[in-house]
Structures are given as C-alpha cells and as structure tokens.
Amino acid sequence: MSRHNSVDLDSPDRPFDNIINFRDVGRSVNQFCNKEILKEGVFFRSARLDDASERDKRRLAEELHIHTVIDLRSQTEHRMGTRKRRSENAKANPSQKSPSPTGSLPSNPAEHLLEIPGSKRALISLTGKGFERALISKLDWPTYLKTIGLITTGYRSEAVRLVCGTVMQPRGLTGLAQDTLDSSMSEIRAVFQLLACEETYPTIVHCTQGKDRTGLVVLLVLLLVGNVVPVEAIVEDYSRSEMELVSEFEERMEEIRALGLGEDYTRCPPGFVRDTTEYLETRYGGVKGYLESVGVGFEMQERIRAKFLV
C-alpha cells in the first residue's frame, strides 16, 4: 500500500511509496543548522528497501542516482525477508508452494532484495560472526549448551531468539551499540572502506528499521566530519527515526518479538548519541582513534571527510 501525505511532490523531502525513515543525511543536518554545512545528494539513510514500488525504484535510480546500497542486516533478517516475500507471493498465487516454517536457510536468501538499475549492493552484516561470538560469550553455561543444540539441529532462528532475549534485551540499544563497536570491527572497516571510494557515491545505508545500526554508522560519519556538525544536529537526525517509523509500529513489533526483544527496541534512547560518543572517547580516544584501530587510516578518513564537507 502506498503512503501519501501533503508534502509537495516536487520537494526533495517528499515521501516514497513504500520506503520509510528515508532522508538525505547532509540535507537533514543542513536543515537543522539552517545553513549549508554538508554536501547534499551523496549520503542517504533509510529502513529496508525490500517493499519499494516501481516508482520508488525509478526515483532511486533516475533522480537520486544511487550507486551503492550498503545493507547492514543479518543473515537471520535476510532469511525473514525472503520468507515474507515468498509468503506474499504464495497469497497472490495460491498454486505456489508456501515457505518452509523451519529454520533452514532458503535456497535463494537474496530474492527479497531490491534491484536498483545501475547500482551495486554491499551486504555487510553489522551483527556478524564476531558480534554473535561476543553475545554467546555472555551466556551462562546451560543457555550456551541450549543455544549450540538449537544451531546444530537446524533451528538457528530459535537460537537467535534465545540469545537476543537473554543478552541483547538487558543490554539495551546503547549497550548494543557499544558491543557492535567492539566486536564488529571488520564489518565497520568494510563500510568505511566503501565510503572512502569516490565511485561509491551516491550511496544509501540501511538496516531493517534504519534506526540503530544505520544510526551508528551515520553517527560515526558525522563525528568524523568534525566540529562543524553540532551534536544537537546528530541527536536530531538519530531521534527523527522514532517518529518516521510510527506508521509500521505493529509490523516492527512483530519482527522484534520474533527476535526475542521488547518494545524498547522500537525507540530512540535520548542518551544514545551522548553515551556512544563518550564510549568512543573513553575506550578509543574518539572516532578517529576508533577508525584507526579497525584499519581505517588517516588517508581514508580524510577522503571521507572531503566527500561530505562543503
């Protein structure tokens, strides 16, 4: 179903039919500051693109000229996306076989992904193997054995739900961001290596909701740009996601519950930007020190800064 509101159809901020939480990061910061600080039309963020309409697809390709899509979702989320697509197709075509309810990986786990003409896709799970190992290391022994048993018998989704409910839920979104910074260094390096390449742009980064993992990447980028971006502008851009996602609250709650998480995972914690920034300063000496530690050196950092600064 398409979404409509009263925004001028010629405005850069007009809504998409079926893509939510979408915005030009540079434009978002510039509007908040009421002056041109960052380049616009180069770096976008959103929730998942899977349900984009044909008109949405044309706009991404022909108007915004998206060259790279950085998808931060996990294998479990891609599996859920493929099953959802197959279920929708089965309803539209009753003769089509329904998706299997088991935890096995679909034969084509990428069939739900949007194809944008002229663009390339980078699948970089920000909660990949290192992150999974970090979570599992926090389990007590009985829960660890149960988790391993579920994984080895093909019930990966159930294992994910158990680990998320046991470890991620108590850690909260800010704790999750800190865990991601510590355990997903190779994935963050891969994201920033892409952002250091001229041919990557214009680019869009997204996860499922486009809120927390996407928000963490955007936070790192805006901190790297430097003091020209006020912290209030970063907070505003991050917090905006909560309002942007209201239209799909029930659907998001269903997905979040399926991962063993609670309603607080739909929100934008007010201290997320401040606490994450302080964590970077305390543990790594700031964003530049952090990026150095993951393998994004000074030269790459400067190329990224140059791409964003006016």
Question: Which sequence spans correspond to the domains of the chain?
Answer: 23-91+108-308
Tell me if the domain spanning 23-91+108-308 has CATH number 3.90.190.10. yes
User: How do strand 23-24 and strand 43-46 relate by DSSP bridges?
Assistant: antiparallel
- Alpha helices by DSSP H, listed for the chain, are 25-33, 54-58, 75-92, 129-136, 141-152, 156-163, 169-183, 185-195, 213-225, 231-244, 249-258, 272-284, 287-294, 298-308
Q: Report the share of the chain in percent with pLDDT over 70.
A: 90
What is residue 16's DSSP assignment?
P
Q: Residue 5 pLDDT more than 60?
A: no
Name the band, by pLDDT with cuts 50, 70 and 90, for residue 103: very low
- For 47-101, the pLDDT digits (tens) are 999 999 999 999 999 999 999 999 999 887 888 778 877 777 677 677 655 555 4
Q: How confident is the model at residue 109 (pLDDT cuts 50, 70, 90)?
A: low
The per-residue pLDDT for 2 is 43
Q: What is the pLDDT of residues 274-297, one digit of tens each?
A: 999 999 999 999 999 999 999 999
Percent of the chain whose predicted confidence (pLDDT) is above 90:
69
Half-sphere exposure of 70 (CA within 13 A, CB side): 25
Over residues 253-281, the mean pLDDT reads 91
